[in-house]
Amino acid sequence: MLNLYYAAHTCALATHIVLEEVGADYTTTRIDFASAQQRSPEYLKINPKGRVPALVTDRGILTETPAMLAYVAQSFPKQSLALMDDAFAFAEVQAFNSYLCSHLHVAHAHRMRGHRWVDPDDAHSIAAMQRKVPESVGGAFAYIESDLLKGPWVMGDRFTVCDAYLFTLAQWLEADGVDPKKIPRVIDHRRRMSERATVKKVIAVELA
Amino acid sequence: MLNLYYAAHTCALATHIVLEEVGADYTTTRIDFASAQQRSPEYLKINPKGRVPALVTDRGILTETPAMLAYVAQSFPKQSLALMDDAFAFAEVQAFNSYLCSHLHVAHAHRMRGHRWVDPDDAHSIAAMQRKVPESVGGAFAYIESDLLKGPWVMGDRFTVCDAYLFTLAQWLEADGVDPKKIPRVIDHRRRMSERATVKKVIAVELA
């Protein structure tokens, strides 16, 4: 049995969607960011990084979305949601996920989590980071729009874990100051994802 | 035939080491950062992101170190350098690599590449980011030291791609202001890595 620790409006949504897509037998535990539960002594035993998501398995606890997405896909090989039977195709899946994790999500994090990279009391620098977010996040989405999103799904005809991850990070683009009109293919992808039964179900759980 | 685009003193070293470890038939092409060759029209055709590494394969071009490391490991299954036969072990490998890519390397990048996240002309914020690097990079290494590095290798008894990646990022820690005395296990790992014939050979090529 798998258990996913998540918080609403976080990148945990990607793994949550993929667990539902593969039909996994799983439970979820909600972590309340408003009360800083992610930094509670109890949760730090689950994930010492004090972040979500974390996935409890029979073998131990996993963190880091790209790793979790590949793990769930590998554990349910019939659906082949990471195209792992083909080393090159899997590498393209992983390169996309790594770009989302280390470029797009990192750029986004400079809006709300600037204290990770400057003194939290340095209001000037915190504000300077926030001002750059529309450009840095927008640039990443523009690159996805023009180069990475093959269509209709991220990897082309096959639905993969990349689609769940892109949909998840695309939840935040308006709040990050990105103009949706400039990335119509990303927005169309987001709309099609939002219509999937699995996505509707998972979002209903997370926002309940 | 594989061809690796690299620059000295970059994270391309990780993939370079792993190509050597598996005995791949590969060539390399050096990109000169001093003359901004990574942003030349010729190189942008290889990697539109304008960064190294990039790995040219018969199927296409791959980027993003975690993806490339898993790709090389999967292409040479006998050596099993990513423990891919075991979904949980592979997920631990990937979680480690993702942490290095999206946390440690990102923290490090705030010393020299702060312009990605603030206006390049904002000297105050650029300097503020640089001042935080010893703490942010040091914190990541402290977590690796205490929690992630199982010993003697990152994943325990088995040498994996994680070792090449950790060694690569550990090249920069003194310049980032991290006190090596506080992370003796990381430093011992770096020393043992530096004594491997493969690592010596690859570094000789990159620094020639």
* CB atoms inside a 10 Å sphere around CB A182: 12
Helix axis angle for A87-99 and A161-169, nearest 10°, is: 10
Full set of structural domains in chain A with CATH: 2-81+200-207 (3.40.30.10), 87-196 (1.20.1050.10)
CB pairs under 8 A between A and B: 141
User: Chain B contacts of A59, Cβ < 8 Å?
Assistant: 88
Strand-pair partners of A3: A27, A56
- A107 pLDDT band, cuts 50/70/90, is very high
Buried b (16+ CB within 10 A) or exposed e, A105-121: bbbbbbbeebebbbeee
d(CA B179, CA A92): 37
Contact A11, A64 (CB under 8 A): no
Are the C-beta atoms of B176 and B108 separated by less than 8 Å?
A: yes
Give me the pLDDT at residue A98, please. 98
Residues A165/A14, Cβ–Cβ less than 8 Å: yes
Confidence check on the interface: ipTM exceeds 0.90, yes or no: yes
Give pLDDT, residue B47.
95
Comparing CA positions, the residue from A114, A136, A135 lying closest to residue A124 is: A114
In the prediction, which pLDDT does B139 show?
Answer: 98
Chain-chain contact of B49 with A143 (C-beta, under 8 angstroms): yes
Residues of chain B contacting residue A117, judged by C-beta atoms under 8 Å apart: 107, 110, 117, 129, 132, 136
Phi, psi angle pair for B5, to nearest 5° = -85, 125
Helix (H), strand (E) at residue A87:
helix A87-99
Position A48 scores a pLDDT of 95
Helices (H), chain B: 12-21, 41-46, 65-75, 87-99, 105-112, 123-143, 161-169, 184-194, 197-207
Taking residue B56's Cβ as centre, other Cβ atoms within 10 Å add up to: 18
Of A49, A98, A132, the CB nearest to B117: A132
Q: State the pTM of this model.
A: 0.98
Q: How many residues does chain A have?
A: 208
Q: Which distant-in-sequence residues (6+ apart) come within 8 Å of A172 by Cβ? A: A108, A137
Q: What single string gives the DSSP state of each residue in B130-146?
A: HHHHHHHHHHHHHHIII
**Two tokens at A113?**
């989590």
The whole-number average pLDDT for the span A115-123 is 98
Mean pLDDT, residues A156-183 taken together: 98
In chain A, % of residues over pLDDT 70: 100
Gap from A101 CA to chain B (nearest CA, Å): 6
pLDDT of residue A173: 98
The Cα A19–Cα A68 span in angstroms is: 10
Q: Give the separation between CA B140 and CA B149, rounded to whole angstroms.
A: 12
What is the C-alpha separation between A20 and A185, in angstroms, rounded? 25
Tens-place pLDDT, residues B128-152: 999 999 999 999 999 999 999 999 9
pLDDT, residue A120, reads 97
pLDDT beneath 70, residues of chain B: none
Write down the pLDDT at residue B97. Answer: 98
A146: exposed, middle or buried (Cβ count in 10 Å: 0-12, 13-18, 19+): exposed
Structure tokens at B102: 């999206």
Which residues have C-beta within 8 Å of that of residue B179, sequence separation ≥ 6? B138
Kindly list the residues from chain B whose CB atom is less than 8 angstroms away from the CB atom of residue A94.
64, 66-67, 70-71
> Which pLDDT score is estimated for B61?
98
Does A74 contact B92 at a Cβ distance shorter than 8 Å?
no
- Asked if A66 and B98 come within 8 Å (Cβ–Cβ), the reply is yes
For residue A160, which of A64, A54, A69, A65 has the smallest C-alpha distance? Answer: A69
Q: What is the pLDDT of residue B138?
A: 98
Residues of A in contact with B143 (CB under 8 A): 48-49
* Cα separation values, A71 from A56, A82, A177, B40, B102, Å: 12, 9, 33, 37, 18
